Structure 1
Amino acid sequence: MHPSSDLLPCFACFHGETGEVSPSNSEEQRLLSPFPWKEKGVFPPLLDEENPPHLNLLKKLNIPYLFDIHCHFFPEVVMKLIWKWFDKVGWAIAYRYAEEERVLRLHKNGFKRFTTLNYAHKPDMAESLNDWIHSHWRNWEGAVPFGTFYPEEGVETYVKKAVEEYGFLGFKLHCEVSKLDLNRKELKQTFRYLESVSIPLVIHTGNAPLPGDFTGISHFLPFMQTYPDLKVIVAHMGAREISEYAELIGSYRNLYLDTTMVFVDFLATGENVDSWLFLLEKYQNRILFGSDFPNIPYNLSHPVMKILEAKISDEAKRKVLWKNAEDLFPIM
C-alpha cells in the first residue's frame, strides 16, 4: 500500500504553514512511517559516524571525491515548511541543520561537488528562486548552480538570464509537484534554447512515490522525441518504470539516470528495486549518483555504501559516484 497523495512529502512547501519544526531524528518516527523499509524495524544510521565507512573504500577505488547530482537548496522558510510536512509522514530528516552546517556535512562525507536543486509549483516563483540561488551559491563550497523554470510569460527570458548572466549550469523540473506537462507549447522555445547551449536538466518525471497528471514514460517519451539532443537526467531512475526509462538510453545520446533514493533501505516507492542494480554496470556511462540531501531518513554513507557494496565493477562504481557527473560538469 502506498501513502495517499495528501501525505506526499514532495508537496511539503505548498501548504502555507508556518512555525518551528519539531525534531524528527528518531527511530520511533521511522517505525511509524507509512513508507516501508526493506526490513521492518531495521534502519540504517541517521547520524554521521566519526569516520564514515565509505571514505576508505573511495580511496581504494581511486575516487577522489563524490559528486551528488541531486542535492536540494531552498530558502530557509521554504525548507522549514518542507521539514514540517515530512514530520507528518514519519519521514525523519537526517540533516536537519542550518545551511552552513549542511554544507559541512556534505564535505565531511566526501561530497566535494553537489547541485543546488529546487523547483516551482506556480507562476511567478521560479525566477525568484533563481535569484536566490544566484545570491547564495558561492557561499557553498563545491556547489554547482542549478535553476528552475515554469510555463509562464517571460520564461525564456529569465532562463537565458540564468545561463548567460548568472552562469547556471543546469535546471531542475518536477513534473509531479509542478503538475508540469513537459510537452506544453509555452516551454518549446526554452527547451530549444537549452538544447542549443547543451545545458542539462534534472527532471522528476517518474511515477514515484505516486503518479502525477503528467508523470511516467507515456509523457516523457514524446518529450524526448521532440528534443532528442537535450541533456536530460531522469531523477530516481524513473521509478517505478526503471526498465522503460533505461531502455531509452540506447536511443538518446544525452539521456542519463540518477540513483536518488533507489538502491536504499527506505522504500519511498513501496518497492524493493535491487533487482535493477545490474543497470549500474550495463549503463555505467549514463548513470549518476544522487542522494536527495538533506531530506533523507538515513545518513549519507548509506546510499554510497549500497553502490560500493554492489556486485558491479570498480570502474562502474567510479563512473556512477564521480566521473560521469564530473564529465557533464567539468571544473573550468
Structure 2
Amino acid sequence: MSANSKDIRISSPFSWRGDSFPPILDEDTPNHLKRISDLGIPFIFDIHTHFFPETIMKLIWRWFDNVNWAIGYRLPEIERVKRLHQNGIKQFTTLNYAHKKNMAQSLNEWTYANFKNWPGAIPFGTFYPEEGVFSYVKQAVEGYGFLGFKLHCEVSKLNLNDPELSDSFRYLEKKEIPLVIHTGTAPLPGEFTGFQFFKPFIETYPNLHVIIAHMGAHEISAYASLLGHYPNLALDTTMVFVDFLATGKESDIDAAIPLLERFQDQIYFGSDFPNIPYNLNHPISKLLDLPISDKAKQKILYRNGKNRFFK
C-alpha cells in the first residue's frame, strides 16, 4: 500500500472513530497472539473471509478504490493465506457470491478446485435464483463436500423470499448446512436488504442455520431480537467493533457490545479479509479489548466456529 494510504482513508465517505488510523498491514509479530494464547484460545476461527478468482477479486478492489476504501492485502492468494496464519487465524471460510445468473456454479467449481491449496480453508459455496439452482446446490454439498454457503443480498440484488430458492433453502435446512448471509443495509442498502426482507424469510425456514453478516448492521438490535427465538440463528462480528465506521455510528456500535455477552453462543468472529482498510490485528485486538468475559471471547473467537464445523 502506498504511503498516502492515510490520506485515502481520510477521504473515504465512511468515517473513522478518532483521529488516528491502525496500520494498513501486519506488524512482524501481531500483538494479539499472546493475548489469545493467555485466554486458552489455540487459534482463531474466522467465519468471514473472501476468496474469488483473481479477475473478479481485482474488480471488487476497483469498486473499493472508488470509495477510497484502502486495502493493503492485495497479495497473491497463497500469501494472503500466510497472513491469516500469521495472525493466528488457522481456520477460515472461502466466501464468494454471484452478482448475475450463470455465475454461481462456476464459482463453486473454482472453489472446489482450489480450496485444498489453502491450509485451514472451510469450503463454502454460493447460489443464485436461476434455473438449475437446486441441482448445483445439492452437488456442492454431496459431491464437493462444501460445509456452508454465502449469499450477498445487496451485491446480488437477491430476495431471500424468492420462490426459486425455496427448494435449496429447504434442502439446506434439512441437511443443517449453514449460510452466511449479508442481509443488512451496511455499508450501503440494496433493493432487498434489511430486516423487512429477512424476518419473513427466517419465519419460513425457522430451523435453517443462518449467520447474519456484520451483525445485521445498520439494524443490529432488530436482528439480535430474533436470537432468542431461533436457536440456529447467529451473528458475525465482521467490521462491527472496529475504528472504521462503515457499519454504523459509534453509539450504535457501543450499544451492541452487551449482545456479545448475552448471546455468546450465537456470535462468530468475522474479519472480511482481505477487503479491510486496516491490518488483521485491528479487529482481533478491538474485540479482545471489549468489556466482555473471557468465556465470551473464547466462544466468539474460536469455540463457536470449531463446534459448528467440527463436531
TM range, smaller chain: over 0.9
Does residue 142 (structure 1) correspond to residue 120 (structure 2)? The answer is yes
Whole-angstrom distance in 2 between the partners of 1:222 and 1:131? 31
Indicate the residue corresponding to 1:283 in structure 2. Answer: 263
Whole-angstrom distance in 2 between the partners of 1:219 and 1:32? 33
How far the C-alpha of 1:85 sits from its partner, in A, is 2.1
Does the residue aligned with 1:202 lie in a helix, a strand or coil? Answer: strand
Indicate the residue corresponding to 1:119 in structure 2. Answer: 97
How far the C-alpha of 1:207 sits from its partner, in A, is 1.0
Does residue 31 (structure 1) correspond to residue 13 (structure 2)? The answer is no
Structure 1: stretches of 5+ with no match in the other structure: 1-21
How far the C-alpha of 1:269 sits from its partner, in A, is 3.0
Indicate the residue corresponding to 1:256 in structure 2. Answer: 234
User: Are the equivalent residues in 2 in contact too, given 1:118–1:147 (CA < 8 A)?
Assistant: yes
Indicate the residue corresponding to 1:313 in structure 2. Answer: 293
Whole-angstrom distance in 1 between the partners of 2:192 and 2:63? 23
The 3 A distance-change label for structure 1 pair 47 and 113 is: same
How far the C-alpha of 1:197 sits from its partner, in A, is 0.4
Indicate the residue corresponding to 1:54 in structure 2. Answer: 32
The 3 A distance-change label for structure 1 pair 166 and 25 is: farther
Indicate the residue corresponding to 1:199 in structure 2. Answer: 177
Does the residue aligned with 1:151 lie in a helix, a strand or coil? Answer: coil
How far the C-alpha of 1:216 sits from its partner, in A, is 0.9
How far the C-alpha of 1:320 sits from its partner, in A, is 0.4
User: Are the equivalent residues in 2 in contact too, given 1:202–1:233 (CA < 8 A)?
Assistant: yes
How far the C-alpha of 1:246 sits from its partner, in A, is 0.5
Indicate the residue corresponding to 1:70 in structure 2. Answer: 48
| AA partner of residue 201 (structure 2) | F
Does the residue aligned with 1:278 lie in a helix, a strand or coil? Answer: helix
- Aligned match for 1:169, one of 133, 147, 167: 147
Does the residue aligned with 1:248 lie in a helix, a strand or coil? Answer: coil
Does the residue aligned with 2:168 lie in a helix, a strand or coil? Answer: helix
Identity %: 64
Structure 2: stretches of 5+ with no match in the other structure: none
Whole-angstrom distance in 1 between the partners of 2:48 and 2:154? 16
Deviates more, 1:270-279 or 1:22-31: 22-31
Deviates more, 1:128-137 or 1:275-284: 275-284
Residues 182-236 of structure 1: CA distance to partner in whole angstroms, max 9, x if unpaired? 0111011110000010000000001111221111111101001100000000000
| AA partner of residue 268 (structure 2) | L
User: Are the equivalent residues in 2 in contact too, given 1:38–1:267 (CA < 8 A)?
Assistant: yes
Does the residue aligned with 2:141 lie in a helix, a strand or coil? Answer: helix
RMSD: 1.2
How far the C-alpha of 1:271 sits from its partner, in A, is 1.4
User: Are the equivalent residues in 1 in contact too, given 2:217–2:248 (CA < 8 A)?
Assistant: no
The 3 A distance-change label for structure 1 pair 24 and 183 is: farther
Does the residue aligned with 1:133 lie in a helix, a strand or coil? Answer: helix
Indicate the residue corresponding to 1:244 in structure 2. Answer: 222
How far the C-alpha of 1:39 sits from its partner, in A, is 1.4
Does the residue aligned with 2:125 lie in a helix, a strand or coil? Answer: strand
Residues 100-119 of structure 1: CA distance to partner in whole angstroms, max 9, x if unpaired? 10000000000000000000
How far the C-alpha of 1:83 sits from its partner, in A, is 1.3
Indicate the residue corresponding to 1:13 in structure 2. Answer: none
The 3 A distance-change label for structure 1 pair 187 and 24 is: farther
How far the C-alpha of 1:270 sits from its partner, in A, is 4.5
Does the residue aligned with 1:293 lie in a helix, a strand or coil? Answer: coil
Does residue 105 (structure 1) correspond to residue 53 (structure 2)? The answer is no
How far the C-alpha of 1:23 sits from its partner, in A, is 5.4
Does residue 133 (structure 1) correspond to residue 111 (structure 2)? The answer is yes
- Aligned match for 2:157, one of 179, 186, 193: 179
Indicate the residue corresponding to 1:160 in structure 2. Answer: 138
Whole-angstrom distance in 2 between the partners of 1:296 and 1:328? 25
Whole-angstrom distance in 1 between the partners of 2:148 and 2:81? 20
Does the residue aligned with 1:285 lie in a helix, a strand or coil? Answer: helix
- Aligned match for 2:249, one of 261, 268, 271: 271
| AA partner of residue 141 (structure 1) | P
Structure 2 length as normaliser, TM-score? 0.97
The 3 A distance-change label for structure 1 pair 91 and 24 is: farther
Deviates more, 1:138-147 or 1:83-92: 83-92
Whole-angstrom distance in 2 between the partners of 1:222 and 1:31? 39
The 3 A distance-change label for structure 1 pair 72 and 314 is: same
